[in-house]
Amino acid sequence: MPRRPTTTEEGVPLFLVPHVMMQGIREHGGEVAWAEVLKASHHYYTVSIRTRPVKREMRPESREQTSVDRIFEKIGRRGP
């Protein structure tokens, strides 16, 4: 089975790192294969996540807009 691509978000503020990780896992489903958080500059970080697939029956059917998505819309960036 081919590997899943890694989800990478750059320029994430420190206070949003846990939310970006949570959103990446929710979007792709499954369990976390690995997660990496690297300091970019000042209080901004690069978050990379790779997940393992799960059975379709266990995957959520739809994704609702979260507060993190709304924050990224306000600052004019693509959200997690």
pLDDT in tens, 12-56: 999 999 998 888 877 776 677 888 999 988 889 999 988 776 555
pTM confidence score: 0.59
pLDDT at 58: 54
Residue 50 lies in a domain: yes
pLDDT at 13: 92
Residue 42 lies in a domain: yes
Range of the domain at 30: 7-54+62-75
pLDDT at 64: 56
Residue 14 lies in a domain: yes
Residue 25 lies in a domain: yes
* Contact (CB, 8 A) for 79 and 22: no
3-state secondary structure of 44: strand
Residue 80 lies in a domain: no
Residue 2 lies in a domain: no
Residue 1 lies in a domain: no
Is it the case that residue 70 has pLDDT exceeding 90?
A: no
Instruction: Classify strands 31-41 and 44-52 as parallel, antiparallel or unpaired.
Output: antiparallel
Number of domains, the chain: 1
